[in-house]
Every structure is written in structure tokens, then in C-alpha cells.
Amino acid sequence: MEVIEAIQKRRSVRAYEPREVEEDKLLRVLEAGRLSPSASNRQERRFVVVKDAQTRKLLSVAAKNQKFIAEAPVVIAACAAVDTDYVMMCGQLAYPIDTAIAVDHMTLQAVGEGLGTCWIGAFDEDRVKKILCIPEGVRVVSLLALGYPADVSRPKSRKSLDEIVMWEKWG
């Protein structure tokens, strides 16, 4: 599959088939996150992979009672574990950007594996940290539901390039 094809097929999946994700596919998704770039090659991202049904249920409650999270066969907590105060020269904190890049790589690899994902930002970080025994100083940037999509794909609505791209300067 071409990269652009994976980008075009990627969508937020909120309904999953009740079947396990094969270990080799899960490892390739995690490998995609591992290979992602990071500021100054700091590689601060860490991933907590959750397959246990009871733990996924607790995570779904911590994520504003989004039931599909418990129904996904895998939930990955994408965390930043090293120097979350590091600021890049441009003035941006590195950890949320670096972790987001890793999760994006994982979502695209998942498409290539025939899997679906949903990137979740609506959750109570303190509750998630308690559920997953994540230590103080580590940030949970996002949750990623992963599994085989149960619903039919629908086209994504996106603005045209003319609406979002400017050449040489703003405006």
C-alpha cells in the first residue's frame, strides 16, 4: 500500500469486530511508533498496551464513558516519559508533538495491517494514570483504540488545498 493510500483510508473507528489483533500486526504498529522521529532524537515516548477487558472498561469510563474504547480489542496509552519540560528552539514543548507523531505513524501502519484506530484525547489523565500505574512525571498524551473495524468506511470531509495552503507568505 502506498503511503497516500493509507492516509486516504485512515479514519476514526468507533466500532470494532470482537476479534483479537494478531501479535505480529500489533508489533508492527508499535514498531511504526518506535521508528518515528523526535526532537533531538530524545525518543521520550512510551506505550502501555492494554488487552485486558476489565482494564479497557475502566479506561472507557475514564474517557468520558466512550463505550467503543472497551469494545476495541487493544487500547494503547501513548505517554511521554522523559523530560516533559523540554522546549524546542521554536518555543513548543517537544513531548506532545513527538508523541503525536508516533501515534500518527501507528495509525497509518494500522491501516496497512487492515486495522482501524481511533485517536482519543477526551480522557481524565489522572484516572488513566491510576488505572495503568503510570508514575508521577509521565504524561499520557493520548489513547489509541485499535482493532478490526466493524462499520463501513465513509468518505472524509476535508478542506481543499486552496483553502489551507498559502505560497511564500501568509495571506
CATH number for the domain spanning 10: value is 3.40.109.10
The answer as to whether 145 is a domain residue is: yes
Confidence of residue 13 (pLDDT cuts 50, 70, 90): very high
- How confident is the model at residue 152, as a pLDDT? 74
Confidence of residue 1 (pLDDT cuts 50, 70, 90): confident
The answer as to whether 171 is a domain residue is: no
The answer as to whether 27 is a domain residue is: yes
The answer as to whether 66 is a domain residue is: yes
* Domain of 155, in residue numbers: 3-164
User: Does position 154 have pLDDT exceeding 80, yes or no?
Assistant: no
The answer as to whether 65 is a domain residue is: yes
- How confident is the model at residue 52, as a pLDDT? 98
The answer as to whether 130 is a domain residue is: yes
Model confidence over 78-116: pLDDT tens digits?
Answer: 999 867 889 999 999 999 999 999 999 999 999 999 999
Cα–Cα–Cα angle for 70, 52, 151, nearest 5°?
Answer: 35
Nearest partner of 116 among 72, 51, 71, judged by Cα: 72
Model confidence over 19-63: pLDDT tens digits?
Answer: 999 999 999 999 999 999 999 999 999 999 999 999 999 999 999
Indicate the number of domains in the chain: 1
Are the C-beta atoms of residues 106 and 31 closer than 8 Å to each other? Answer: no
The answer as to whether 56 is a domain residue is: yes
The answer as to whether 69 is a domain residue is: yes
